[in-house]
Amino acid sequence: MVADLIRGRYPALSVELQIIRTKGDIMQNVALSVIGGKGVFIKEIEEALLRGDVDLAIHSMKDVPAELPDKLEIAVTPLREDPRDVLISKGDRKLEEMPPGAKIGTGSLRRELQLKNRFPGFEIVPMRGNLDTRIKKLNTENLDGVILAAAGIARMGWSSRVSQFLPVDLLLPAVGQGVLGLETRRGDDRCRNIIEFLNDPVTFVEAGAERAFLGRLGGGCQLPIAGFAKKHGERIVIEGMVGSRDGRVVIRESSEGKAGDYQRLGSGLAETILLRGGDVLLAEIYQENAL
Protein backbone atom coordinates (compact mmCIF):
# COMPACT_ATOMS: atom_id res chain seq x y z
CA MET A 1 0.00 0.00 0.00
CA VAL A 2 2.76 2.44 0.98
CA ALA A 3 4.83 1.53 -2.07
CA ASP A 4 1.86 2.14 -4.37
CA LEU A 5 1.19 5.55 -2.80
CA ILE A 6 4.84 6.56 -3.25
CA ARG A 7 4.83 5.36 -6.86
CA GLY A 8 1.66 7.33 -7.50
CA ARG A 9 3.22 10.49 -6.10
CA TYR A 10 6.62 10.02 -7.76
CA PRO A 11 6.14 8.03 -11.02
CA ALA A 12 9.82 8.37 -11.97
CA LEU A 13 11.04 6.96 -8.65
CA SER A 14 12.05 3.30 -8.47
CA VAL A 15 10.41 1.64 -5.46
CA GLU A 16 11.42 -1.91 -4.58
CA LEU A 17 9.78 -4.10 -1.95
CA GLN A 18 12.05 -6.27 0.19
CA ILE A 19 10.26 -8.82 2.39
CA ILE A 20 12.11 -9.61 5.62
CA ARG A 21 10.95 -12.44 7.88
CA THR A 22 11.45 -11.65 11.55
CA LYS A 23 11.82 -13.86 14.59
CA GLY A 24 8.18 -13.23 15.42
CA ASP A 25 7.12 -14.33 11.93
CA ILE A 26 9.14 -17.54 12.05
CA MET A 27 8.47 -18.75 15.62
CA GLN A 28 4.67 -18.85 15.44
CA ASN A 29 4.20 -21.77 17.81
CA VAL A 30 5.91 -20.02 20.71
CA ALA A 31 4.32 -17.37 22.94
CA LEU A 32 5.69 -13.85 22.51
CA SER A 33 6.49 -13.71 26.22
CA VAL A 34 8.79 -16.73 25.77
CA ILE A 35 10.73 -15.54 22.71
CA GLY A 36 10.96 -11.97 24.02
CA GLY A 37 8.05 -9.71 23.12
CA LYS A 38 10.04 -6.52 22.53
CA GLY A 39 11.00 -6.10 18.93
CA VAL A 40 10.43 -9.67 17.73
CA PHE A 41 8.51 -8.38 14.71
CA ILE A 42 10.91 -5.59 13.77
CA LYS A 43 14.49 -6.36 14.88
CA GLU A 44 15.68 -7.91 11.60
CA ILE A 45 14.01 -5.12 9.62
CA GLU A 46 15.72 -2.44 11.70
CA GLU A 47 19.06 -4.17 11.26
CA ALA A 48 18.58 -4.04 7.47
CA LEU A 49 17.71 -0.35 7.76
CA LEU A 50 20.82 0.37 9.82
CA ARG A 51 23.02 -1.52 7.34
CA GLY A 52 21.57 0.47 4.45
CA ASP A 53 20.04 -2.60 2.80
CA VAL A 54 16.69 -0.80 2.82
CA ASP A 55 15.83 2.90 3.08
CA LEU A 56 12.39 2.68 4.63
CA ALA A 57 10.81 0.22 7.06
CA ILE A 58 7.06 -0.25 7.45
CA HIS A 59 5.78 -1.52 10.80
CA SER A 60 2.53 -2.05 12.58
CA MET A 61 3.05 0.40 15.43
CA LYS A 62 1.63 -1.98 18.00
CA ASP A 63 4.68 -4.19 17.31
CA VAL A 64 7.18 -1.37 17.84
CA PRO A 65 8.85 -1.19 21.29
CA ALA A 66 8.79 2.07 23.21
CA GLU A 67 12.52 2.57 22.66
CA LEU A 68 14.08 2.70 19.19
CA PRO A 69 17.74 2.44 18.19
CA ASP A 70 19.42 5.85 18.46
CA LYS A 71 20.04 6.09 14.72
CA LEU A 72 16.43 5.35 13.72
CA GLU A 73 13.13 7.20 14.04
CA ILE A 74 9.46 6.85 13.19
CA ALA A 75 9.26 9.67 10.68
CA VAL A 76 5.71 9.30 9.40
CA THR A 77 2.39 7.79 10.50
CA PRO A 78 -0.29 7.65 7.77
CA LEU A 79 -3.99 8.00 8.58
CA ARG A 80 -4.98 5.50 11.24
CA GLU A 81 -7.11 2.50 10.32
CA ASP A 82 -9.88 1.35 12.71
CA PRO A 83 -8.12 0.91 16.10
CA ARG A 84 -10.69 -1.48 17.57
CA ASP A 85 -10.57 -5.22 18.06
CA VAL A 86 -13.12 -7.46 16.36
CA LEU A 87 -14.73 -10.81 17.06
CA ILE A 88 -15.16 -13.43 14.35
CA SER A 89 -17.34 -16.21 15.73
CA LYS A 90 -19.21 -19.35 14.89
CA GLY A 91 -22.86 -18.62 14.30
CA ASP A 92 -22.03 -14.92 14.08
CA ARG A 93 -22.64 -14.55 17.82
CA LYS A 94 -21.54 -11.55 19.87
CA LEU A 95 -19.50 -11.96 23.05
CA GLU A 96 -22.53 -11.14 25.19
CA GLU A 97 -24.46 -13.98 23.56
CA MET A 98 -21.91 -16.68 24.29
CA PRO A 99 -22.40 -19.15 27.16
CA PRO A 100 -19.99 -19.78 30.04
CA GLY A 101 -17.20 -22.04 28.87
CA ALA A 102 -17.07 -20.50 25.39
CA LYS A 103 -13.59 -20.93 23.87
CA ILE A 104 -12.12 -17.65 22.60
CA GLY A 105 -8.79 -17.55 20.80
CA THR A 106 -6.25 -14.74 21.10
CA GLY A 107 -2.49 -14.38 21.20
CA SER A 108 -2.58 -11.12 23.17
CA LEU A 109 -2.16 -10.82 26.95
CA ARG A 110 -3.91 -7.45 26.72
CA ARG A 111 -7.02 -9.04 25.19
CA GLU A 112 -6.79 -12.08 27.44
CA LEU A 113 -6.86 -10.18 30.71
CA GLN A 114 -9.69 -7.86 29.62
CA LEU A 115 -11.79 -10.80 28.45
CA LYS A 116 -11.16 -12.67 31.71
CA ASN A 117 -12.16 -9.55 33.63
CA ARG A 118 -15.41 -8.97 31.73
CA PHE A 119 -16.31 -12.59 30.91
CA PRO A 120 -14.76 -14.75 33.66
CA GLY A 121 -16.57 -17.85 32.42
CA PHE A 122 -14.83 -17.90 29.05
CA GLU A 123 -11.96 -20.24 28.26
CA ILE A 124 -9.17 -18.23 26.61
CA VAL A 125 -7.15 -20.25 24.11
CA PRO A 126 -3.66 -18.88 23.22
CA MET A 127 -2.86 -18.75 19.50
CA ARG A 128 -0.38 -17.26 17.05
CA GLY A 129 -0.11 -17.12 13.28
CA ASN A 130 -1.27 -14.87 10.46
CA LEU A 131 -4.88 -13.74 10.15
CA ASP A 132 -5.97 -16.56 7.86
CA THR A 133 -4.40 -19.20 10.13
CA ARG A 134 -6.09 -17.77 13.21
CA ILE A 135 -9.50 -17.60 11.56
CA LYS A 136 -9.16 -21.23 10.42
CA LYS A 137 -8.58 -22.23 14.05
CA LEU A 138 -12.28 -21.58 14.65
CA ASN A 139 -12.75 -25.03 13.13
CA THR A 140 -9.39 -26.76 13.57
CA GLU A 141 -9.35 -26.05 17.34
CA ASN A 142 -13.13 -25.97 17.79
CA LEU A 143 -13.19 -22.38 19.01
CA ASP A 144 -16.33 -20.32 19.51
CA GLY A 145 -14.61 -17.14 18.42
CA VAL A 146 -11.32 -15.39 17.75
CA ILE A 147 -10.34 -11.81 18.61
CA LEU A 148 -8.34 -9.91 16.00
CA ALA A 149 -7.39 -6.33 15.14
CA ALA A 150 -9.95 -4.56 12.96
CA ALA A 151 -7.16 -2.85 11.01
CA GLY A 152 -5.68 -6.08 9.69
CA ILE A 153 -9.09 -7.45 8.76
CA ALA A 154 -9.98 -4.21 6.93
CA ARG A 155 -6.68 -4.14 5.03
CA MET A 156 -7.29 -7.73 3.89
CA GLY A 157 -10.81 -6.81 2.74
CA TRP A 158 -12.42 -9.26 5.17
CA SER A 159 -14.67 -6.90 7.17
CA SER A 160 -17.75 -8.86 6.05
CA ARG A 161 -16.51 -11.76 8.20
CA VAL A 162 -16.69 -9.70 11.40
CA SER A 163 -19.34 -10.75 13.91
CA GLN A 164 -18.77 -7.83 16.29
CA PHE A 165 -16.69 -4.66 16.36
CA LEU A 166 -15.66 -4.40 20.01
CA PRO A 167 -15.94 -0.87 21.46
CA VAL A 168 -12.91 0.53 23.25
CA ASP A 169 -14.95 0.65 26.47
CA LEU A 170 -15.13 -3.13 26.33
CA LEU A 171 -11.66 -3.91 24.96
CA LEU A 172 -9.11 -1.12 25.13
CA PRO A 173 -6.77 -1.36 22.10
CA ALA A 174 -3.04 -1.92 22.09
CA VAL A 175 -0.79 1.12 21.90
CA GLY A 176 -0.49 2.05 18.23
CA GLN A 177 -3.16 -0.37 17.05
CA GLY A 178 -4.32 0.51 13.53
CA VAL A 179 -1.29 2.74 12.94
CA LEU A 180 1.47 2.12 10.42
CA GLY A 181 4.90 3.44 11.35
CA LEU A 182 7.30 4.49 8.59
CA GLU A 183 10.80 4.22 10.04
CA THR A 184 13.88 5.87 8.56
CA ARG A 185 17.48 6.48 9.49
CA ARG A 186 17.92 9.74 11.40
CA GLY A 187 19.30 12.40 9.09
CA ASP A 188 18.06 10.72 5.91
CA ASP A 189 16.39 13.88 4.64
CA ARG A 190 15.95 12.54 1.11
CA CYS A 191 13.82 9.61 2.26
CA ARG A 192 11.94 11.68 4.80
CA ASN A 193 11.07 14.34 2.22
CA ILE A 194 9.77 11.67 -0.16
CA ILE A 195 7.41 10.13 2.40
CA GLU A 196 6.35 13.30 4.23
CA PHE A 197 3.14 13.56 2.17
CA LEU A 198 1.91 10.33 3.78
CA ASN A 199 1.93 11.72 7.30
CA ASP A 200 -1.37 12.31 9.10
CA PRO A 201 -0.73 14.87 11.87
CA VAL A 202 -3.68 13.72 14.00
CA THR A 203 -2.51 10.11 13.92
CA PHE A 204 1.05 11.24 14.68
CA VAL A 205 -0.10 13.02 17.85
CA GLU A 206 -2.40 10.21 18.99
CA ALA A 207 0.26 7.55 18.44
CA GLY A 208 2.82 9.78 20.14
CA ALA A 209 0.68 10.11 23.24
CA GLU A 210 0.15 6.35 23.39
CA ARG A 211 3.86 5.65 22.92
CA ALA A 212 4.79 8.13 25.64
CA PHE A 213 2.45 6.17 27.91
CA LEU A 214 4.08 2.89 26.87
CA GLY A 215 7.56 4.35 27.19
CA ARG A 216 7.05 5.32 30.83
CA LEU A 217 5.78 1.80 31.56
CA GLY A 218 8.65 0.21 29.64
CA GLY A 219 6.22 -2.07 27.86
CA GLY A 220 6.28 -4.44 24.92
CA CYS A 221 4.21 -7.22 23.38
CA GLN A 222 4.68 -9.50 26.38
CA LEU A 223 2.98 -7.16 28.86
CA PRO A 224 -0.77 -6.71 29.46
CA ILE A 225 -0.86 -2.99 28.65
CA ALA A 226 -3.43 -1.06 26.63
CA GLY A 227 -3.47 2.59 25.59
CA PHE A 228 -5.65 4.62 23.27
CA ALA A 229 -5.63 8.36 22.51
CA LYS A 230 -8.18 10.42 20.61
CA LYS A 231 -7.64 14.00 19.48
CA HIS A 232 -10.65 16.34 19.57
CA GLY A 233 -9.76 19.68 18.03
CA GLU A 234 -7.05 21.20 20.22
CA ARG A 235 -7.64 18.69 23.02
CA ILE A 236 -6.62 15.08 23.40
CA VAL A 237 -7.93 12.30 25.62
CA ILE A 238 -5.79 9.28 26.41
CA GLU A 239 -6.93 6.19 28.24
CA GLY A 240 -4.56 3.56 29.60
CA MET A 241 -4.74 0.23 31.34
CA VAL A 242 -2.50 -2.27 33.11
CA GLY A 243 -3.82 -5.55 34.49
CA SER A 244 -2.93 -8.85 36.05
CA ARG A 245 -2.60 -11.87 33.80
CA ASP A 246 -5.65 -13.56 35.35
CA GLY A 247 -7.83 -10.50 34.79
CA ARG A 248 -8.72 -10.13 38.45
CA VAL A 249 -7.00 -6.76 38.77
CA VAL A 250 -7.39 -4.04 36.15
CA ILE A 251 -6.12 -0.48 36.64
CA ARG A 252 -7.65 1.81 34.05
CA GLU A 253 -7.30 5.59 34.00
CA SER A 254 -7.70 8.45 31.56
CA SER A 255 -6.24 11.91 31.11
CA GLU A 256 -7.22 14.94 29.03
CA GLY A 257 -5.35 18.08 28.07
CA LYS A 258 -3.97 20.22 25.29
CA ALA A 259 -3.04 18.24 22.20
CA GLY A 260 0.34 19.96 22.12
CA ASP A 261 1.15 18.35 25.47
CA TYR A 262 0.50 14.84 24.16
CA GLN A 263 3.80 13.35 25.30
CA ARG A 264 3.55 14.80 28.79
CA LEU A 265 -0.05 13.61 29.09
CA GLY A 266 0.89 10.10 28.00
CA SER A 267 3.77 9.74 30.43
CA GLY A 268 1.73 11.42 33.19
CA LEU A 269 -1.07 8.88 32.73
CA ALA A 270 1.47 6.10 33.10
CA GLU A 271 2.72 7.66 36.35
CA THR A 272 -0.84 7.69 37.70
CA ILE A 273 -1.32 4.01 36.89
CA LEU A 274 2.04 3.07 38.38
CA LEU A 275 1.16 4.88 41.60
CA ARG A 276 -2.16 3.03 41.77
CA GLY A 277 -0.36 -0.31 41.84
CA GLY A 278 0.61 -0.76 38.23
CA ASP A 279 4.27 -0.97 39.23
CA VAL A 280 3.54 -4.08 41.31
CA LEU A 281 1.52 -5.72 38.51
CA LEU A 282 4.23 -5.10 35.94
CA ALA A 283 6.96 -6.37 38.28
CA GLU A 284 5.00 -9.60 38.73
CA ILE A 285 4.66 -10.08 34.97
CA TYR A 286 8.36 -9.38 34.40
CA GLN A 287 9.19 -11.98 37.04
CA GLU A 288 6.86 -14.56 35.45
CA ASN A 289 8.39 -13.97 32.00
CA ALA A 290 11.89 -14.39 33.40
CA LEU A 291 11.13 -17.84 34.83
* 240 and 101 both lie in a single domain: no
Cite the active site residues. 63
Q: Which domain holds residue 103?
A: 85-166
What pLDDT shows up at residue 1? Answer: 93
Q: Is the CB of residue 102 less than 8 Å from the CB of residue 145?
A: yes
* 69 and 186 both lie in a single domain: yes
Query: Per the structure, how many domains does the chain have?
Result: 2
* 101 and 155 both lie in a single domain: yes
Whether the per-residue pLDDT at 25 is higher than 60: the answer is: no
- Structure pTM? 0.89
Single residue among 111, 135, 166 that ends a domain in this structure: 166
Q: pLDDT tens, 28-50?
A: 555 554 445 556 678 899 999 99
Coil, helix or strand at residue 2:
helix
Single residue among 149, 166, 183 that ends a domain in this structure: 166
Q: Give which of 82, 126, 131, 128 is closest to 104, Cα–Cα.
A: 126
Which range has highest mean pLDDT (40-44, 66-70, 163-167)? 163-167
* 158 and 219 both lie in a single domain: no
What pLDDT shows up at residue 246? Answer: 85
How confident is the prediction for the chain on average, in pLDDT? 90
CATH number (domain holding residue 93): 3.40.190.10
Whether the per-residue pLDDT at 220 is higher than 90: the answer is: no
The one-letter amino acid at 220: G
The beta-strand segments (E) located in the chain are 57-60, 72-76, 85-89, 103-106, 123-126, 145-149, 164-166, 180-185, 225-232, 235-243, 250-258
* 129 and 190 both lie in a single domain: no
What pLDDT shows up at residue 35? Answer: 44
Whether the per-residue pLDDT at 198 is higher than 90: the answer is: yes
Whether the per-residue pLDDT at 253 is higher than 90: the answer is: yes
* 120 and 239 both lie in a single domain: no
Whether the per-residue pLDDT at 278 is higher than 80: the answer is: yes
CA distances from 188 to 18, 59, 74, 96, 261 (A): 19, 18, 12, 50, 27
